Structures are given as C-alpha cells and as structure tokens.
Structure 1
Amino acid sequence: MSRALAAFRHNLRPFLLIQAGALTFVALFYLWPTFATAATAAGEIKLASGMIGAALATAFAGFAVPEGVRRLTGGQGSTRADALFQIVFFMIIGVMIDAFYGLLAVIVGRGTDVGTVATKVLIDQLIASPFLFMPYSALAFAWRDMGFSGTRFRQEWGIELRRRWAGIVVMGWLFWGPVLSGIYALPAGVQFVMFLCAQAAWSILLVWLAQDGRE
C-alpha cells in the first residue's frame, strides 16, 4: 500500500498529464468531427479484427511501446523470456478487457449519459478491477519473479497475492478511475481505442510496481 502511494506521489505529474490527455481525447471526439471520424474508423478496424485484434493491439500498447521507449532512452531491454511473458500477459489482458466492455454494454447499456458512465466505472473499479484484473496482474508478475517456477508458484501464490494485491489495486484506482470516466463516456466502438492509449502509459507503471518482487 505504502509503495503504491509513494509511486503515486512520485508520478503525480505524469498521472495528471495522462488523465488530462484522457479528458482531451473525449473532448476532441465530441468537438472535432475529423478526430471523431478517425477514432471511429480505428474502432471499426478493431471491431473487424475481433479478439485477435484486441490481443495484438494491447500487446503492442502494453509491451512494444514502453519497451521501445526504454531502449531509446538507453535503458536495458527485456530478456527473451520476459518479452515473451509480457507479450502473452498483455494479449490476455486485451481479450479480457474487450470481453468485459462487451459485457458491460449488454448489462448496463451503450449510453454515454452520466448514470450509465458512473455505473460502469463503479462496476469496473469495485468489482472487476480488484477481483479479476489486478489479481491476474499481481499473480502473473509474481510467477515471473519466481523464475516461472510452477512448483514455487503453487506453494506461494496466496502469500504473493496478499503481499501485492493492496498496492496494485490502490494504484489502479488512482490511475484508472479518472481515465475510465473518459473511456465509458465514449461510444462503445471507440472505448477500446482510448483504452489502448491509456494502457501504454499504465503498463510502464505496472512494470515499475512489479520490481517490488525483485528487490
């Protein structure tokens, strides 16, 4: 928990910049027809590509973008094993998110009114995030930090989940809460496009938090 809050304070400006970017995305969509047309077209491409497109696009946003930035700034690149792990990890995230957005559209509706947006944000942040997305992330990186040992993971997954869960959930709330308000304020076909933009930024923070298991 304290690590998450420290990370939030340390990254407050980037957080606010990204969240402002999310609001800007929404404003441009509704105020600039050219931008709306481009975003809608991108959403249609994603829709046509189905789950495979969602998986590949999320892997690109979640791994390729931060990996490229890391290398361009002189940082050490990922090992082959770690690169493969992250690609698969983010591909699964993409499928999960795409399916979840579709489920919300069916259960809550496709509207962008305040009530619908608020309901989706609450379901996302109070149910899906703490009990599905964040545990998956915490356990996946715990397994990576164990050297991909199945035996050790079976023995220690409960301990690792308890150790990591609170911090990563709090960080997720602080980052994704405001961003999701923007995502769910968009038409269903465009939500995943904005999610990809935010995912590229979030993945960098997620990888940083994952270093906790290596220190």
Structure 2
Amino acid sequence: MSRLLKRCAQGVRVNIVPGLVLQSIACVVVGVYYFVPEARGAYDWIAKVKVDYGYWYSAVTTGVFGGLVPFLYLVSVGKVERSDFWAVGIFFLGAWSWKGIEIDFLYRMQAILFGSDNQALTVLKKVLFDQFVFCPVWSAPVTALLYRWKDCGFSWRRFKRELDRDFFLLEVLGVLVAIWVVWIPGTAFIYSMPSSLQLPLFQLVLCFFVLLVSVIGKKRVDKVLAES
C-alpha cells in the first residue's frame, strides 16, 4: 500500500508542472477562439478540414502531433538508438494514428450521448466519462502496455517478464495519475470547444504529453534494467 501511495504521489509531483503548462496552452487556445474574433477564420479553416476529411484527418494529424513530432524530438536529443530508428518511428506513427481514430470516435459518441453544446453540465458529463470510464478501463492500461513494450526494445520475452503484479498495480496506476493530472483540466477545455475543434485542441496538448510520457517512461525502464 505504501508503494502504491508513493507511486501516486510521484506521478502527481512529476506531472504537475508540465500539466500546468499544457493546461495554460489549452486555456490560451480556447480564450483566443472565444475572445479574439480576428482569429476565428483560422479556427474555422481547421474545423472545415476536420469535417471534410473525417477519420483520415484524425489518423494523419494525430500521427504527426502525437507520433512524428515527439519522435523527431527524441531522436534529436539522443533518446532513440540508431538501431531502433525505424522500429520506434513506426511505433509512434502507427500507435498515435490509431489513437487519433479512437479519440475521434470517443468524441463523436459523447456528442450523441451527452449533446454537442458547451454548457457546463454537458462539459462535466464528458469529462467524467472520459477520465473515469474511458481512461481507467481502456486508455491508461493500453498506453502503459504499449510504451512498456517499446521501452523493452520490442522484445516479447523481456516484455512478458515485465508484466508482473507491480506493473499492473503501480505502472498502470502511474500512467492513470499522469493522465488525470494533465487531462482532467485539459479535457474540460477541449469539451468547451465546438465539436469540430475538439480533436485539434486534443492534438496540441497531446504533442507535449507524449514527450513527457516517453522521456519519463524510458528513464524508469533504464533504471530497472540497470538494477537487474
């Protein structure tokens, strides 16, 4: 129990400052949309592209923001070994392209379930469903598993050794706490936007969040491997 509480506290401590930065970015984007009419044209153009291309837009742009940009950053700072270049690059692009389709579907279904307006009650329902149903049941476990597999060098043997009780109790919970710290306020901003602009705002915050998960996750695995 003490290890569990320690991991939760660590997740909050590590993510609180980056989370505040990401939430500030989201706040500025939302504020500009509602209070700077001169900028509305750019938002409308993005919304039109999103509507015109549907899930293709979701896959390609999320692959770029959540996959390609963070991957290129990690390469530039030496966090990706030359021998792993293609494997890690394909992983980032493939995982986050699919994630874009998944999140777009989530947003569309919530619009059907709870409505597409930006009233406080509607936003609250979407945030609660997103963070306390979708994330614990699907998003956090799958993200933790995918990134652990990547950090194990895509070795199924090493990956299977990592799937012990501590992984599911501590690592998955650690990812979930990281998600909550960043995304509970973040999704409130996202769901306050029109439906066609929710995914683009998600992608902007996502780009920085993936960098955070990648760097922190790699450090944890390197520490475990060094001690083994």
Q: TM-score, normalised by structure 1?
A: 0.88
Measured in 1, the distance between the counterparts of 2:38 and 2:97 equals 30
In the alignment, structure 1 residue 208 sits paired with structure 2 residue 208: no
Alignment of 1:173-212 (within 5 A): 173-211=180-218, 212=220
Asked which structure has the greater CA Rg, the reply is 2
Measured in 2, the distance between the counterparts of 1:126 and 1:11 equals 18
> 1:168·1:209 contact (CA, 8 Å) conserved in 2?
no
Unaligned runs of 5+ in 2: 224-228
2:148 to 142, 145, 152: 142
> 2:63·2:97 contact (CA, 8 Å) conserved in 1?
yes
Q: Deviations over 1:62-114 (max 9, x none)?
A: 12222333455x43446211111111111111111010000000111101000
> 2:123·2:191 contact (CA, 8 Å) conserved in 1?
yes
Measured in 2, the distance between the counterparts of 1:100 and 1:157 equals 28
Measured in 1, the distance between the counterparts of 2:176 and 2:205 equals 17
Match of 2:46 in 1: 42
Going from structure 1 to structure 2, the CA distance change for 1:69 and 1:149 (only over 3 Å counts) comes to closer
Q: Which amino acid aligns with 1:174?
A: V
How far residue 186 of structure 1 moved from its aligned partner, in angstroms, is 0.6
Q: Which amino acid aligns with 1:165?
A: V
Match of 2:131 in 1: 125
Going from structure 1 to structure 2, the CA distance change for 1:8 and 1:156 (only over 3 Å counts) comes to closer
User: Size of the alignment, in residue pairs?
Assistant: 214
Match of 2:68 in 1: 64
How far residue 150 of structure 1 moved from its aligned partner, in angstroms, is 4.3
1:162 to 169, 173, 178: 169
Q: Which amino acid aligns with 1:105?
A: A
Q: Which amino acid aligns with 1:213?
A: V
Compare 54-63 and 204-213 and name the one that shifted more.
204-213
Alignment of 1:62-141 (within 5 A): 62-72=66-76, 74-77=77-80, 79-141=85-147
How far residue 149 of structure 1 moved from its aligned partner, in angstroms, is 3.9
Q: TM-score, normalised by structure 2?
A: 0.84
Q: Percent same amino acid at aligned positions? A: 27
Q: Deviations over 1:32-53 (max 9, x none)?
A: 1232221121122122222122
Compare 160-169 and 186-195 and name the one that shifted more.
160-169
Going from structure 1 to structure 2, the CA distance change for 1:188 and 1:56 (only over 3 Å counts) comes to same
Compare 33-42 and 135-144 and name the one that shifted more.
33-42
Unaligned runs of 5+ in 1: none
